[in-house]
Structure formats: structure tokens, C-alpha cells
Amino acid sequence: MVKRVSGDVRRSISRWIAKLERYNWLGQYDRLTPNRRAKIARAELRLPYRSLGHGFYRLVYDLGNGYVLKVAISSSGMRCNELEYRLYASCTKHIKQHLCPVAGFGHGWIIMKKMKVAGTGKHLKLKLLSKKFRKAGILPYDMKRANSAMYEGRIVVIDYGNFMW
């Protein structure tokens, strides 16, 4: 099921991404702290969704329909969104069952299923899942509890933008 954002939201994101690309061309923006980048991006975007927080590279918004919107706040965030989309679209069913489903993708943004972060005690299962990814030729960088969730009885990675394959 492909999810889309409204035209107004898409335009707001497009304007933000154009500014982000200009900032990066000037070599200034990626030097800012993630908190500062997030604050600037939130002020520019003014999206009508509840913010769930931010990481180093992206803002995350709750779309209120069981999905989240991740918007890039750096050039690395752009790469993470594209990588998550490409990995999810091209991996085998065996691996896909452990990746948070991608429901929509565009320049600077990605929509994914909303999931709750995995509880404590999942460390061993994360190690086994990491091994499964490596066997499939995927290097699971940044594999940690905060980037995983439990879904239908299995561990699912919700942030795999730093994976390499």
C-alpha cells in the first residue's frame, strides 16, 4: 500500500530540501549539531503532524494513520531515506520480514509503518538478526534496541538507513 503526503506537505518538504541542498553546497549546514539542524528544519517545514523526535539525520513525524514520515535534515538523511527505500524494495522476503515496511518515498522523505521500539532483553535476538543480515550480504551498521521494534512476534529494524549492501 503506497502512502502519500498531501500536496501542501510535499511542497513544504520540497522547499525545505531545496534550502538544505543550498546550505550543503555552501558547506555550512552539516557542521551544525543534530539538535540545531532539527530545530531549523522544524521551523522551516511547519508540518501539521506531531513530531516524534529526531536522529542525527532525520526528523520523524506521526502521520496519525499508523505510519510515520521521516524528513531529511542533512545530506546524510537524504542518503538514509533513499537507502531504506532501495533496500526494502530489493531485498528477499526472508530479509524484508525484519525491515520496517516502506509505504511511500519521495525526494527528501520516506513513509514507513509506525512501530513501537523493542523492549529490553532483545540484545541476543538483535545479535542473531545482525548475523542473518550479514549472511545475506547486508552490513547492519547502527543495529541497536532503539532502532528496532517487535512486530507480529519478530524483531523488525525501524532505522536501517546506515545499512550497507
Q: Which three cell numbers stand for residue 101?
A: 515496511
Torsions phi, psi of 58, nearest 5? Answer: -145, 150
Type of residue found at 8: D
CA distance linking residue 1 with residue 54, whole number of Å: 25
Cβ atoms of residues 37 and 73 within 8 Å: yes
**Predicted structure pTM score:** 0.93
Q: Which three cell numbers stand for residue 75?
A: 545530506
The one-digit pLDDT tens for each residue of the chain (165 residues) are 567 788 999 999 999 999 998 887 667 777 889 999 999 999 999 999 999 999 999 999 999 999 999 999 998 999 999 999 999 999 999 999 999 999 999 999 999 999 988 676 666 788 999 999 999 999 999 888 889 998 888 899 999 999 998
Cβ atoms of residues 45 and 12 within 8 Å: yes
